[in-house]
Amino acid sequence: MKKLIFSLVIVLLTGIASIAQNLDDAVRYSYLIPYGDSRFNAVAGAFSGIGANVSGVSINPAGLGVYKKSEISGTFSISNFVSNSNYLGNSNNDIKTVVSLPSMGIMIATNLNENSSWKNLNFGVSYSKLADFNNRIMISGDNQYSSIVEVYSAYANGNTPDQLNNFDTRLAFNTWLLDTLPGNPTAYSGIVSQGVRQEYIEINSGSMYEINLSVAGNYEDKLYIGGALNFDILSYKKETSYKEIDKEDTIPYFKSLESFNYLKTTGDGINFKIGLIYKPIQWFKFSAAFHSPTYFDFNDSYYASMETNVYGQNYNDESPKGIYNYKYYNPMRAIFGLGFTIGEYGFIDAEYEWTDYSQNHFSNKHANTSFFDLNNTINNELTYGNNVRIGTEWVLKPLAIRAGYAYYSSPYKNIKNFDTHVMGLGFGLRENKLIFDVGVNYYIRNDQRYLYDPIVMEMLSKPEPKAAVSLDNILVSFTIGMKL
């Protein structure tokens, strides 16, 4: 359990630990909760057993074969990311609003020879959002037990000043939070150890999109088979600010410290997907799809800085700019679904998605050795994903009413309450060739943050600096499309 805690933390604020690749990155880039057009969102993504939906094609490309007419659509959405935190009995909340285009595409249906058993050969080009990394978290509280300076001191011990880490302990040393003990250049003492006001702000932004090139066929209106080549584009940015303040003016020589960390990750990847939908009888469909791992090339840029007011003076220091390139792949997925249609009156879709988060893998572009420990931690601490989506649509022409629910299990082997719940509602209009849909979704997820290393605190017999965090999202999406 201690190992898991340390892996989960990878210390959000202190130096290179907040910059190097870690377990949190593996979860971020593989714990995918797709966003799509408003019809897809309203049924919480439950479309793989039904087909004929631009976003559903990204889950099961066989759904493209269900189209009888060509279609083009685009989606606009507004997300309100709401965070709540509780730390040392103090609560904070924050909201971040993001506007995006989660889905766009054109599905081209071609009718084959009427004497052929193959009724359609369809082609699609689309893009959809696989993950949204946006949120803003505020945490604050009065800590009478510990300080981040104790962590800097623990990290620095055993190193001479010129051996200190450029991204944390060297900054602390150069801004006079740390100093060596007399006669011992590898032992350090800190200026503060408790009794400070602590304030933490974390701003995450970015998303993962997928460009989908798909083809599917329709055999006798019973069997639909499809495949897709996909190109993923990722952009992620994380900025953290951490402060400690002596608001009571009781700590000798210390007024305040503030550390800032910046990380930007960009990458592109490739994968393929195959799927089928089988309709043995008119009202029932069975579906299956397979997603290969996505193979990414990632590029990180990062830096850190620190400002202090100690000994009656202001000090500041900044790390060098860091750049790092590496490879990563996330795990394969298998999706199985059941679709029930009630003539033209509606449908019910239920599907199960399986993946294995422990198969996340990082590697150096030139050698694999530098990620051995991280990959071993991923293998030991992450587990299978058991995800379920259920959705329904009922038609009262020209209006359609929709609802859905999805559950995404925790990716952590020993922490079960880090799961995600998605609720969806919506409606749509079909008038002549015009398509207009509205979807509303509510996403609920629990999380936590350690302000600094709990392992060091345990060594010092002090409480963990842990904050409970909830991360919710209220999404409203609008889709406009046309039958061609």
CATH number at residue 439: 2.40.160.60
* Contacts of 117 by beta carbon, 8 Å cutoff, 6+ apart: 219, 220
CA–CA distances in Å: residue 211 to residues 4, 16, 151, 233, 406: 35, 33, 44, 8, 23
Quote the pLDDT of residue 115.
82
Task: Give me the domain span that covers residue 232.
Answer: 2-483
Give me the pLDDT at residue 14, please: 35
Please name which of 271, 307, 266 lies closest in space to residue 290, comparing C-alpha atoms.
271
Is the pLDDT score of 316 beyond 50?
yes
Residue 366 CA to residue 113 CA, distance in Å, equals 52
Assign 1 a pLDDT band (cuts: 50, 70, 90): very low
**pLDDT confidence bin for 416, thresholds 50/70/90:** confident
Residue 359 confidence class, pLDDT cut points 50, 70, 90: very high
Asked which of 195-199, 368-372, 449-453 is least confident by mean pLDDT, the reply is 368-372
Contact between 404 and 390 (Cβ < 8 Å) = yes
Could you tell me the pLDDT band of residue 369, with boundaries at 50, 70 and 90? low
Q: How many CB atoms lie within 10 A of CB 401?
A: 15
Mean pLDDT (whole number) for 404-425: 95
Structural element, H or E, at residue 153: helix 148-156
State residue 112's pLDDT score: 86
What is d(CA 236, CA 301) in angstroms, rounded to the nearest whole number? 11
Check pLDDT > 90 for residue 10.
no
**For range 440-444, the mean pLDDT:** 99
List of long-range contacts for 362-371, beta carbons under 8 Å, 24+ apart:
362/21, 362/25, 362/26, 362/326, 362/327, 362/328, 363/326, 363/327, 363/328, 364/326, 364/327, 365/297, 365/325, 365/326, 365/327, 371/21, 371/326
Structure-token match 């590697």, residue found:
363
Mean pLDDT across the stretch 50-78? 97
Q: What is the mean pLDDT of the chain?
A: 94
- pLDDT of residue 18 exceeding 80, the answer is no
Query: What are the pLDDT digits (tens) for 165-204?
Result: 999 999 999 999 999 999 999 999 999 999 999 999 999 9
- Can you tell me the mean pLDDT for 217-229? 97
pLDDT 10s digits, 247-269: 999 999 999 999 999 999 999 99
- Counting residues of the chain whose pLDDT is more than 70, the rounded percentage is 95
How far is it, in rounded angstroms, from Cα 127 to Cα 130?
A: 9
Span 111-139, average pLDDT: 94
**pLDDT reading at 451 higher than 70:** yes
Dihedral sign for Cα atoms in the order 365, 204, 445, 128: negative
Mean pLDDT for the stretch of residues 60-89: 97
Decide which of 301 and 8 is more confident: 301
Nearest to 357 by CA among 335, 328, 385: 385
Banded model confidence at residue 19, pLDDT cuts 50, 70, 90: low
The confidence band for 368, taking pLDDT boundaries of 50, 70 and 90, is: low
Q: What pLDDT is attached to residue 15? A: 36
Q: What is the pLDDT of residue 314?
A: 98
| DSSP code, position 111 | B
Domain count, the chain: 1
